[in-house]
Amino acid sequence: QNQKTKEQIESLLQNGKHKELRDRLCCRLTFGTAGLRSAMGAGFCYINDLTVIQSTQGIYKYLERCFSDFKQRGFVVGYDTRGQVTSNCSSKKLAKLTAAVLLAKDVPVYFFSTYVPTPFVPYAVQQLKAVAGVMITASHNRKEDNGYKVYWENGAQITSPHDKEIIKCIEECVEPWNGSWNENLVDTSPLRQDPLKKICDCYMEDLRKICYHRELNEQTNLKFVHTSFHGVGHDYVQSAFKAFGFQPPIPVPEQKDPDPDFSTVKCPNPEEGESVLELSLRLAEKEGAKVVVATDPDADRLAVAEQQENGCWKVFTGNELAALFGWWMFSCWKENCSEDADVKNVYMLATTVSSKILRAIALKEGFHFEETLPGFKWIGSRVKDLLDNGKEVLFAFEESIGFMCGTSVLDKDGVSAAVVIAEMATYLEGKNLTLAQKLIEIYETYGYHISKTSYFLCYDPPTIKRIFEKLRNFDAPQSYPKFCGIYNILHVRDITTGYDSSQPNQKSVLPVSKSSQMITFTFQNGCVATLRTSGTEPKIKYYAEMCALPEQSDRSVLEEELRKLIEALIENFLEPDKNGLIWRSA
């Protein structure tokens, strides 16, 4: 019933664009590392009114099967500020259609009356004891994209088998039901409630549990700049700073209000570093603010920059921020725990492509460290298991600037991370230290962990498959490489096939993930490198890290070794020229 998307298909048909019609109509959306995500537009593998209705009908069918009390407990729906005029498609409209499908089936829906950060949906699912929730967002993807993120009753994103079962249910009921198109139901149905005020208040109250230095925060002269990247973050970050006793951060005026075109940045991903933080760094210089915090468009991720003594800015990587957060959350726990608290009951987690710095801290301090597959959905589920077994989880992260401080939200959360980093900077300033200086202290105590993450763009799936298949049949059929250039490979782990040469039974401890490509190499020189496909974008990503012992403190030697190894990895394993890969633009 959407005229705009209907016209897109009709025009392709009239112009004889049969290949594009096939591409758009002959495959369905599938669950990646962050739910369903694709470009907005017409077609069954795109995000549009119809595919959102179909997905929600499938979810209804599955939840009805899983929960006898579904119609008592209800369902949460949130959305960001994305939109596309050419498809008459916006996150809010798609959220209204999601709600309509459920309301028409007499399911109570907690529908937020305005845009919210992604972490508010999993938080609301737990607080309101709903059976599940959906957030309409494509996070930091390009402006053309949108997505559909599903959370289970435990407040974590769904993992298998739920995703597979939901896809089956979607395929069983593709015809829209009566009432599914009625987006006005959210305004008229008595079953619709607005959870905004309650969730905001509870969230800010819970946030105070990880505030340890309120008096310092109230007195500090440190200034902070915040950019919300044309997304949802502004109001919520302002409130979070207030909850911690801070003066509100200075917002970047051009980026504070929602803008689906993200018109001041070349891409809305704060991970891209200084090039996309230009406006906030210039404002900070003007205002004399030493620290910049940037939340991505749906405020579930956080970038941080700090002005150094020479006037230059240091933009921290996700792995560097994790070292700071890990040190901070553990120090605060140690200072505030009861006398009989057992450090062996304490956990931190990271995804397997992230830095091993938490492992080094855990070994020295006596707490537990665990790894999961890439994607916060795996972290959320594992943290819930640990909590249910009486464990205490302080912190979890993924290198792509996703952080979970505390366990109020079982997903990454840029709002809480922003205010925790502000408190950390305030505390350190009282000790005459900057974040960057503290980071060096952490590395000197626990060992340098120097990492580099980047990617190549590849729009041709067969090429990607060929690159990874070659690695599985390198010198001979079914044999992985023993060297990469001059570097000796000790172990290979292939998550796609479940092989791990370091295990006695040659089987990977992490679950197999056949739908994506991912191979990790452990080198004799202490470097660990992973090649994988992105779950949300047409990218081949690489992650490499040198993990040194505390006594190996010559950083420049380690950096040079890592640089050479990455060069060898790209040249021997990815072969960008031969495979037509597009280098990430600097």
The residues that are catalytic are: 139
Contacts of 368 (CB under 8 A, 6+ apart): 344, 346, 347, 348, 362, 391
For tokens 């640089």, name the residue. Answer: 563
Across 157-210, the runs of DSSP E, i.e. the strands, are 192-193
Q: Which residues pair with 546 in a beta bridge?
A: 450, 527
Within 10 angstroms of residue 8's Cβ, the number of other Cβ atoms is 20
Distance CA 297, CA 162 (A): 27
Helix (H, G, I), strand (E, B) or coil at 86: helix
Q: Which two tokens stand for residue 18?
A: 């049969």
Maximum Cα interatomic distance, the chain, rounded to a whole number of Å: 75
CA dist list (Å): 109 to 69, 70, 76, 149: 14, 11, 6, 16
Distance CA 37, CA 30 (A): 8
Helix (H, G, I), strand (E, B) or coil at 35: strand
For residues 567 and 551, the answer to whether their CB atoms sit within 8 Å is no
List phi, psi (to 5°) of 492. Answer: -130, 135
Query: What is the four-CA torsion angle of 20, 21, 25, 28, rounded to 10 degrees?
Result: 0
Q: Which two tokens stand for residue 387?
A: 């909590």
Distance CA 146, CA 140 (A): 10
Query: Would you say how long the chain is, in residues?
Result: 586
Q: Going edge to edge, which strands form the sheet with 402-405? A: 368-372, 346-351, 392-398, 402-405
Nearest CA to 94 among 48, 132, 54? Answer: 48
Contacts of 341 (CB under 8 A, 6+ apart): none
Helix (H, G, I), strand (E, B) or coil at 61: helix
Whether omega before 550 lies within 30 degrees of 0, making that bond cis, reads no
Distance CA 313, CA 302 (A): 16
Using alpha carbons only, give the angle 354, 355, 361 rounded to the nearest 5 degrees.
130
Instruction: Return the axis-axis angle of helices 318-336 and 357-365, rounded to nearest 10°.
Output: 20
Instruction: Return the axis-axis angle of helices 435-446 and 318-336, rounded to nearest 10°.
Output: 80
Question: H helices of 404-483, where?
Answer: 414-430, 435-446, 461-472
Residue type, 282: R
